[in-house]
């Protein structure tokens, strides 16, 4: 038998806003819809409600009751991201999830009895998961979508409707519970029908003859019959968080403060789905008109908020948007975090996720071109190199003995090469064209008479093109100690590009 759970967030516009601004949780806050005199309250916090503010009050009425009332407009971005977050929580329970909009989700929980001791336990787990993402979730479980939704609307959550007892459960409830926006409810109340049970007891044909097709549907619903199937949704290709700002922001720090909270929410949602962020896109709405978009490719999939925030900061510092920001949205393109099988007997392997986070943090601290895997490059010039993303192969299954070192002499490369002045002498009196270095005049240690000079060796690269590179190399040992690699470039200038050590 099919069992459906309804996850419902009461006062959804307010809950979505408080999720983005949790510091307002204890304040008297109302969410208003409309502008100017038409602005009216659509949701209010408990503190505002206890003062007498109700849904439908105009903003002026509400402020006359409570002058210090905090009013926020409905934020479609907040509500959309809250709905997505709720869907993602639901997907951790079952892959079959239907998005009913406005803080209502239906979840097919058939076959979940093996994972939870009871349906009540499942309901409590869903409420806890909702709390984790900052949304107060109510849960109702029944065999039909209608009964599950009505159960979820009741204050004492979770409410479980036993299989086959839907009609019995609905009978004592007022007609308004059946469908809040039911036009026929007034007509039915004029007939003296107040509860769902009273409607269910009437003959279906009589109701249908008086109210038409709507009457037939209402009568079926009152008997607990809901033939509508669950329509599961497809997984989204990206995760989005954002916010419309109360006033335009011009400084970086306040913006990053708000973006940090959005990234935090994004990281939690990614974690729920077992994803990490590979690419972060940000769109900022600018004042008075226009928008600014940018994308940050992360060096490795990560969920580390600090890393993402640092990369965001660096990017914004490098290219500021150029106008005050009125709204923003962050889109995380998900990727599976790197996984690896660890070995008991081989060398200790690195945790791929930890490595990815560390590399991302290093890149944010040092810059993209300062961290990676060194690569050799074909060519003749000695200081050539390339950098690639660090992705080490998996360690061997069993430990290996180290290979005996070749004991080669290393050259410590100077990047960039150090310019020096050189005093030369003829290599041999009988060959005047051949020269050797007699002394070097540079800064610090790179100065002094030369004990031994050896060379030159000609190195040439790119002879086929205009900007070819040709150098004459010498190895020299200074009297004061230290062996260096010296070269003379195209412009007859002398450089030291390495020290042997």
Partner 1 sequence: MSVTATARPLEQLQFRLFRPVPVVAPQIVETPEPSPLRDDVRQLRETLQATVAAKVTSATELLRALDRTRREETIPTTLDAFDALLGGGLPRGKMVELTGRRAAGRFSTVLAALAAATSMGEAAVLVDLGDHLDPQLAEENGVDLRRLLWIRPKTLKQAVMSTEMIAATGFQLVVLDVGLHPIRSRRVPDASWVRLARTAEANGTALLVSTPYPLTGTASEAVVTAERSRTQWLGRGKAPRLLASITTDLMLMKHRHRKPGAQGSVTFAAQDAPASVATKNDGTNRTDRTETRVAYLPALPAAAAGGAR
Residues that bind partner 1 (CB under 8 A): 344-348, 350-351, 354-355, 358-359, 361-362, 365-366, 370-377, 382-387, 390, 392-393, 395-396, 399-415, 427-428, 444-445, 452-454, 475, 477, 481-483, 498-501
Minimum gap (Å) between residue 276 Cβ and partner 1:
16
Q: In DSSP terms, which residues pair with 333 in a beta bridge?
A: 279
- CA separation for the pair 239, 245 (Å, rounded): 20
CA trace torsion 147, 153, 156, 157 (10° rounding): 70
Quote the least distance from Cβ 256 to partner 1, whole Å: 21
Minimum CB distance to partner 1 smaller for 218 or for 363: 363
Residue placing its CB nearer to partner 1 in the complex, 231 or 452: 452
Residue 25 CB partners (closer than 8 Å, separation 6+): 18, 45
Q: How far apart are CA 167 and CA 224, in angstroms?
A: 5
Specify the residue, 23 or 369, whose C-beta has the smaller distance to partner 1. Answer: 369
CB of 437 to partner 1, least distance (A): 11
Instruction: Provide the strand spans (E) within 184-290.
Output: 239-249, 276-286
Choose between 60 and 366: whose C-beta lies nearer to partner 1.
366
Task: Check if the beta carbon of residue 259 is closer than 8 Å to that of residue 328.
Answer: yes
Count Cβ neighbours within 10 Å for each residue of 460-496 and write b for 16 or more, e otherwise.
eeeeeeeeeeebbbbbbebeeeebbbbbbeeeeebbb
Q: Residue 176 and residue 195: Cα distance in Å, rounded?
A: 8
Q: Between 257 and 385, name the residue whose CB sits nearer to partner 1.
A: 385
For residue 404, the minimal CB distance to partner 1 (Å) is 5
Strand ranges (DSSP E) for 138-238? 138-142, 159-160
CB nearer to partner 1: give 195 or 351.
351
Cα angle 133, 137, 140 (rounded to 5 degrees) comes to 145
Q: How far is the CB of 90 from partner 1 (least distance, A)?
A: 35
HSE-up (13 A, CA, CB side) for residue 20: 28
Least spacing, CB of residue 442 vs partner 1, in Å: 13
- Closer residue to partner 1, CB minimum distance, 68 or 406: 406
Which two tokens mark 104? 């209502």
The least distance separating partner 1 from the CB of residue 337, rounded to whole angstroms, comes to: 15
Neighbours of 288 (CB within 10 A): 8
CB of 409: closest distance to partner 1 in angstroms? 4
Quick one: 250 or 373, whose CB is closer to partner 1?
Answer: 373
Asked if 160 contacts 151 with a C-beta cutoff of 8 angstroms, the reply is yes
Phi-psi region for residue 322, left (φ > 0), alpha (ψ -120 to 50) or beta? left
In whole angstroms, the minimum distance from the beta carbon of 270 to partner 1 comes to: 21
Cβ closer to partner 1: 234 or 410? 410
Q: For partner 1, give the closer residue by CB, 56 or 393.
A: 393
In the complex, minimum distance from the CB of residue 450 to partner 1, in angstroms, rounded to a whole number: 11
What does the block give as tokens for 55?
A: 């849904």
In terms of CB distance, is 95 or 394 closer to partner 1? 394
Which contacts (CB < 8 Å, 24+ apart) does range 470-473 have?
Answer: 471/381
> Two tokens at 53?
């503010």
212 and 218 in contact (C-beta within 8 Å)?
no
Distance CA 467, CA 270 (A): 50
Per DSSP, the residues of 419-476 read: EEEEEEEEEETTEEEEEEEEEEE-STTS-EEEEEEEEEEEEEE-TTSTT-EEEEEEEE
Phi, psi dihedrals of residue 217, rounded to the nearest 5° = -65, -40
Residue 266 C-beta: closest distance to partner 1, Å: 23
Question: Measured from the CB of residue 481, what is the shortest distance to partner 1 in angstroms?
Answer: 5
């Amino acid at each position: 038998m099919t069992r459906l759970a309804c996850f419902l967030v009461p006062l959804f516009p307010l809950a979505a806003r408080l999720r983005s601004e949790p510091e307002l949780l204890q304040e008297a806050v109302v969410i208003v819809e409309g502008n100017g005199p038409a602005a009216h309250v659509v949701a209010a916090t408990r503190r505002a409600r206890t003062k007498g503010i109700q849904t439908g009050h105009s903003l002026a009425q509400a402020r006359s009751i409570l002058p210090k009332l905090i009013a926020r407009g409905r934020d479609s971005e907040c509500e959309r991201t809250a709905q997505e977050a709720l869907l993602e929580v639901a997907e951790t329970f079952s892959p079959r999830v239907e998005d009913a909009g406005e803080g209502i989700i239906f979840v097919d929980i058939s076959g979940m009895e093996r994972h939870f001791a009871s349906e009540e336990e499942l309901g409590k787990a869903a409420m806890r998961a909702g709390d984790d993402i900052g949304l107060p979730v109510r849960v109702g479980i029944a065999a039909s979508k209608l009964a599950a939704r009505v159960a979820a609307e009741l204050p004492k959550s979770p409410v479980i409707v036993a299989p086959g007892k839907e009609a019995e459960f609905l009978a004592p409830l007022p007609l308004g519970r059946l469908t809040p926006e039911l036009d026929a409810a007034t007509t039915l109340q004029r007939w003296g029908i107040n509860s769902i049970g009273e409607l269910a007891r009437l003959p279906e044909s009589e109701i249908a003859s008086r109210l038409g097709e709507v009457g037939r549907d209402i009568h079926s619903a009152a008997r607990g019959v809901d033939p509508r199937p669950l329509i599961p949704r497809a997984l989204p290709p990206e995760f989005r968080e954002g916010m419309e700002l109360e006033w335009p922001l011009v400084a970086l720090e306040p913006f990053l403060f708000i973006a940090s909270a959005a990234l935090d929410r994004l990281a939690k949602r990614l974690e729920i789905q077992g994803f990490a962020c590979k690419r972060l896109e940000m769109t900022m709405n600018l004042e008075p008109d226009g928008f600014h978009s940018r994308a940050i490719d992360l060096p490795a999939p990560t969920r580390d908020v600090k890393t993402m925030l640092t990369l965001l900061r660096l990017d914004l510092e490098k290219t500021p948007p150029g106008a005050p920001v009125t709204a923003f949205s962050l889109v995380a393109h998900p990727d599976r975090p790197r996984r690896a099988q660890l070995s008991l007997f081989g060398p200790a392997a690195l945790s791929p996720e930890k490595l990815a986070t560390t590399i991302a943090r290093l890149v944010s601290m040092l810059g993209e071109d300062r961290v990676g895997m060194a690569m050799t490059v074909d060519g003749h010039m000695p200081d050539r190199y390339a950098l690639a993303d660090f992705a080490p192969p998996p360690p061997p299954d069993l430990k290996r003995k180290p290979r005996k070192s070749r004991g080669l002499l290393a050259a410590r490369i100077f990047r960039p090469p150090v310019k020096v002045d050189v005093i030369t002498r003829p290599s041999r009196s009988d060959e005047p064209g051949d020269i050797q270095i007699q002394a070097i005049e540079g800064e610090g240690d790179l100065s002094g008479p030369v004990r031994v000079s050896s060379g030159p060796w000609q190195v040439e690269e790119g002879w086929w093109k205009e900007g070819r590179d040709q150098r004459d190399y010498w190895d020299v040992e200074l009297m004061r100690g230290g062996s260096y690699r010296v070269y003379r470039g195209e412009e007859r200038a002398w450089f030291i590009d390495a020290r042997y050590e």
